[in-house]
Amino acid sequence: MADESGEKTFAPTEKRRKDAAKNGDVLRSRELTTAIAMLTGALWLQFAGPWLLETLGRTARAGFTWNRDTLEHFAPTTLINAALVAALPPVMVLGALVLAGSLGSQLGLGDGRWVPGNLAPKASRINPMSGLKRMFGMQGLIELGKGLAKVTLLGVIAYVWTRGRIATMIGLGAGNVDRQLTYAWDAILSLLFALSGGLVVIALIDFPIQWVRRFMRLRMSMQEMRDEHKESEGSPENKANIRQRQRQIAMSGVQNAMRQADFVITNPTHFSVAMAYDPGKASAPIVLAKGRGEKALAMRELAAEFAVPTLEYPALARSVYFTTRENQVIREELYGAVASVLAFVFSLKRGEAPPAPRVDVPMELRFDAEGRPELLSKS
């Protein structure tokens, strides 16, 4: 039924997630961003508060200190510029930290991906019908519920905070100014941390909701799974190009060996073994190169190019392939079989036309295509 109806019941693949991220569909949580920004600001005020207060105090004293020279050369622009120069550094540092925290949280959720396309203007954002759909649709109802819950929680936190300090706050005007300012600053910091804690709680609830919503949005149907698999496998043309490149790589690695080979035995296409016999170097034929799959096909093509005789002896090819390494002499048990093939090749090079010899491979040296001894498989 899932195939026929196109129902999306399969979890998104890694490719699906990456493609969605490239198109701007990444995991987002505004609540997490707000909580991080609020908490970053509160922490900065906690540790850098004395710097900010001292700067603001120095600016205030300079602005309210008057003498004869100040009255005679009154320059409000100079005072304002001096106040801005003194107050801007701590404020800009605060803004930079909040911005870095906000961007870092979103980039972290989005796998470090920055999508410039999300900044481009979209007609759907200014379309009144799309706006009404977002407001009164399921998405709008969810956002409305989240907003009400957030306002309620933060309102309760603010109420509890105010209830414990209302009496002290009412009597602030009757005490020492320094003590009153210190208390007010501590009270503001405690309120910011309390509200930040509430936002963190909201973010911890919102984050899994956003993860589940994105997961459900990216689910795939059976047809989409098949299409992706087909795309990942590639078209026949791409497969042919890949095989061609693999063959070229294989050719580059066996060209020298094929130039020195006296003959090649095959199975007929899965395995290829190139051998040469030089009595001055070894008492028996040497395996110059061997391969299977694409390498075997490359060896066959090079053998045709260099006019090296290619003979189909499946059992012998598998036996030599699985028992002898490259640049090594063949097994002693295979001397007789390989000698028959070698004598036939030398006859061909002399211009003769003898019949192809029958070769006998010992049963204990016979293997299947996977390298399993045939003696064991038959038993």
All domains of the chain in start order, with CATH: 26-217 (no CATH), 237-378 (3.40.1690.10)
To the question of pTM greater than 0.85 for the whole model, the response is no
Residues 6+ apart with CB under 8 A from 151: none
Query: What sections of 218-326 are H helices per DSSP?
Result: 222-233, 236-260, 294-305, 314-323
Rounded CA-CA distance 322/366 in Å is: 9
Distance in Å from the first CA to the final CA of the chain: 47
Q: Print pLDDT tens along the chain (379 aa).
A: 444 456 777 788 877 877 777 776 777 777 888 888 888 888 887 877 777 767 766 666 666 666 666 666 666 676 667 667 766 777 777 778 778 777 776 666 655 455 555 555 555 555 566 555 656 666 667 777 777 888 888 888 888 888 877 767 666 666 665 667 677 777 888 888 888 888 888 888 888 888 888 888 888 888 877 777 776 655 566 666 656 666 665 666 688 888 899 999 998 778 999 999 988 888 889 999 998 887 888 888 888 888 999 999 999 999 999 999 999 999 999 999 999 999 999 998 888 888 989 998 999 899 988 888 876 655 5
* β-strand pairing of 328-329 with 310-312: unpaired
